[in-house]
Amino acid sequence: MNSPNHVAVVPDGNRRWAKKHGLHVTEGHRRGAEAMHAVAEHLRSRQIKYLTVWGFSTDNWKRNDDEVHNIFDLLELWIKKDIPWMREKNVRLRHIGRFKELPQSLQGAISQAVTLTSHNTGMTLNLAFNYTGRAEIIDAMRGLIDSGDLFLPEVCRPELDEKLFSRYLYTDGMPDVDLVIRTAGEFRLSNFMLWQTAYSELFFSESLWPDFGIEELEKALNTYSERRRYFGGD
């Protein structure tokens, strides 16, 4: 079976799931976190090398303050709870997004997990938190300008190409995304990994994220395996 090397997930539907079941929105996010753990474990067992999950968009600051802070608290608890799992299963955690805008306690939890798992060589789990694709491209451009590479004398200025620019993205050193999975019947990228998904295969599921199980995940992987990727060729 042809398997993707890098899977990215846009887990929509936590709030709709909670409303559907007459529960507080926080319970929807909690159930969504459980679903994400199951997906990560299954992809790890399938030897998928990279998984990127979108936990919080820079646009999500527009939401109710209570919901935003509940999401922060839930993520902090999840990270602390799953550090033993990541260390046991050889999973490396990386954060992508605007880190310094997050609460100090959450920054501390993420930093600790990143440090403790930095030498793991199995799956790399990218946590896209306080992230959007356009923000990443802007930050990459700022990094490129700050590096001075664009202002070297003409004789030694490096050629500005995709390879050079990619070094300044949050995902430096990682392959582009092969498969994007989005749930809850939404059919768009919504400013997610705009650079890295240029040639990605897309799988859209009607399932609300807390209901997205291994069977639906396998359907996405099987669909990917049946597709031929040309990258502009024949």
Residues with a catalytic annotation lie at 12, 60
Residue 210 DSSP class: G
What is the Cα–Cα distance from 43 to 50, expressed in whole angstroms?
9
Tokens of 6: 């890098």
What is the Cα–Cα distance from 212 to 184, expressed in whole angstroms?
9
Question: Is the backbone of residue 55 left (phi > 0), alpha (psi -120 to 50) or beta?
Answer: alpha
Long-range contacts, stretch 215-221, CB < 8 angstroms, 24+ apart: 217/39, 217/42, 217/43, 217/181, 220/179, 220/181, 221/1, 221/3, 221/4, 221/46, 221/179
What is the Cα–Cα distance from 127 to 51, expressed in whole angstroms?
9
